[in-house]
Amino acid sequence: MRQTHNDCFLRALARKPVDRTPVWLMRQAGRYLPEYRASRERAGSFMNLCQTPELACEVTLQPLQRFRLDAAILFSDILTIPDALGLGLEFLEGEGPHFHRPLRSASDIAALGRIDPEQDLAYVMDAVRLIRRELDNRVPLIGFAGSPWTLATYMVEGGASATFARIKSLMFSDPPALQQLLSLLAATITDYLSAQQAAGAQALMLFDTWGGILTPRDYQRFSLHYMAQIVASLRTHTHTADTPVIVFTKGGGQWLEAIAATGCTGVGIDWTTDISEAFTRIGATTAIQGNMDPGVLYAPDAVIHAEVASILDAVGNRAGHIMNLGHGIQPGMRPEAIAAFVDAVHELSPARHHGPA
């Protein structure tokens, strides 16, 4: 296979020297882009957009046509796995995800079967193959999945939740039932990520959006434990042994050492952690991805520029930084603000990699 033309994202993940800091953004494809809204309109629904490889490919590439990004991320959703497990996913306009058959009892969990991602999520693998072909090695492609804990919260709640009443109730009253669900999800996610790698994904990311709502003990027991299983399994399979894996727990700043100890290649951090301290804590063994407060993107371009400078200053000339936000782009953000963010990284970061230490 040909070498990726722009490999600064993969080099930074490997903590190798780079000419400038690589940059991409979580949710870089999405409703803040008018061309995304047009594609989604044509698709008729978000799920149809995800399930039509030509359309998923089209929206994956849209942000790359506008901004000088160093990685593409597969356009899909973390909730494709629960959908394939039979929960019946629908995205309601303005309300977010909704499952027609949420898991409401231990017997619902016991009744779940195994899926074969190559078969049951073939549309995702088709999209990965098509995107790789269309990217033509310009930048690497990131594949992804939700963490077991984060998927379980949606599957048990039936959608988004403000209180997490149902998943917490299950966790505290019937931990073995929850652990049965998390084990099944960990095995399924491992197969799913491995299939994405086989289809062409060059790095893999685990989104643990809700790990941060747990106590340290329960984070270890119900979230990190299963992510560590996934990383370890990917490391033992020959074809994924060398594939970089990024683990992102939103709100996980106090657990960086434990996350790095999973053996992952990179750790995603949100904006509530000081990135300089993060490097001191885990930068010797692990790359770090982040961590601008996405809220800065509501501010004028000069403020965005200054915030990028402040993050780059905090990192200094240490290897292994991938610039990103601390969470995803929101629909109301201006595309020009994203350009200001990306351009500031291009303008300001080369000096950190060449200049005096």
Indicate the residue among 98 and 305 with the shorter CB distance to ligand CP3. Answer: 98
Catalytic residue among 40, 132, 221, 352: 40
Indicate the residue among 110 and 160 with the shorter CB distance to ligand CP3. Answer: 160
318 touches ligand CP3 by CB under 6 A: no
Catalytic residue among 27, 129, 235, 281: 27
Exposure letters 64-98 (e unless 16+ CB within 10 A, then b): beebebbbbbbbbbbbbbbbbbebebebeeeeebb
Is 40 considered catalytic here?
A: yes
Comparing CA positions, the residue from 19, 126, 7, 145 lying closest to residue 77 is: 145
Enumerate the H helices of the chain as residue ranges: 8-13, 34-43, 46-51, 53-66, 80-82, 106-110, 117-120, 122-135, 148-157, 165-173, 175-199, 216-218, 225-236, 256-260, 275-282, 301-315, 335-348, 350-354
Residues 6+ apart with CB under 8 A from 286: 260, 264, 265, 266, 267, 320
31 touches ligand CP3 by CB under 6 A: yes
9 touches ligand CP3 by CB under 6 A: no
Comparing CA positions, the residue from 190, 240, 182 lying closest to residue 211 is: 182
- Tell which positions 136-155 bind ligand CP3, by CB under 6 A: 144
- Degrees, nearest 5: CA angle 36-42-46: 65
Indicate the residue among 38 and 160 with the shorter CB distance to ligand CP3. Answer: 160
Helix (H, G, I), strand (E, B) or coil at 238: helix
75 touches ligand CP3 by CB under 6 A: yes
Identity at 73, one-letter amino acid code: I
Stretch of 23-31, 124-132, 215-223, 268-276 lying at the interface with ligand CP3 (CB under 6 A) = 23-31
Is 281 considered catalytic here?
A: no
32 touches ligand CP3 by CB under 6 A: no
Catalytic residue among 32, 36, 154, 192: 154
- Find the shortest distance in angstroms from Cβ 28 to ligand CP3: 5
Q: If binding means CB under 6 A, how many residues of this protein chain bind ligand CP3?
A: 21
29 touches ligand CP3 by CB under 6 A: yes
- Tell which positions 83-102 bind ligand CP3, by CB under 6 A: 91, 96-97
How many other CB atoms sit within 10 Å of the CB of residue 186? 21
- Find the shortest distance in angstroms from Cβ 328 to ligand CP3: 4
333 touches ligand CP3 by CB under 6 A: no
Positions marked active-site: 27, 31, 40, 77, 154
Give the binding site for ligand CP3 (CB under 6 A). 26-31, 40, 46, 73, 75, 77-79, 91, 96-97, 144, 160, 207, 209, 328
